């Protein structure tokens, strides 16, 4: 289903960029371990969130995960909304 306004969208409004991936390590969805990699706009790099640890990672680890890590959820953001952060958001 496309909105009647879909034809009015610009090329940039039709493009999406990957900004996060949640991975699952394990044989079953109810067992195993979940890890999320997300692009941090303020730092300009990918960050891995794994339980109590947070660390920067290269983009190649996100795009080419090592087995047994399997992408479980992919998060995309429309390109024309990237960089439109609320004024009250601070990056430290």
Give 55's pLDDT tier (boundaries 50, 70, 90): very high
Classify residue 67: in a domain, yes or no.
yes
Classify residue 88: in a domain, yes or no.
no
Top pLDDT among 75 and 79 is at 75
Closest CA to 39 of 89, 80, 83: 83
Classify residue 9: in a domain, yes or no.
no
Give how many domains the chain has, as a whole number: 1
Query: Over the stretch 7-39, which tens digit does the pLDDT of each residue have?
Result: 677 776 778 899 999 998 888 878 888 999 999
Classify residue 32: in a domain, yes or no.
yes
Classify residue 1: in a domain, yes or no.
no
What pTM was estimated for this model as a whole?
Answer: 0.73
Q: State which residues form the domain around 28.
A: 15-80
- For residue 54, how many C-alpha atoms fall within 13 Å in the half-sphere facing its CB? 6
């Amino acid at each position: 289903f496309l909105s009647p306004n879909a034809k009015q969208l610009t090329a940039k409004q039709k493009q999406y960029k990957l900004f996060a991936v949640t991975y699952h390590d394990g044989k079953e969805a109810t067992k195993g371990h979940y890890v999320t990699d997300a692009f941090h706009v303020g730092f300009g790099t990918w960050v891995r969130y794994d339980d109590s640890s947070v660390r920067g990672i290269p983009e190649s680890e996100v795009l080419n995960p090592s087995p047994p890590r399997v992408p479980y959820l992919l998060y995309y953001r429309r390109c024309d909304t990237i960089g439109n952060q609320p004024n009250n958001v601070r990056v430290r």
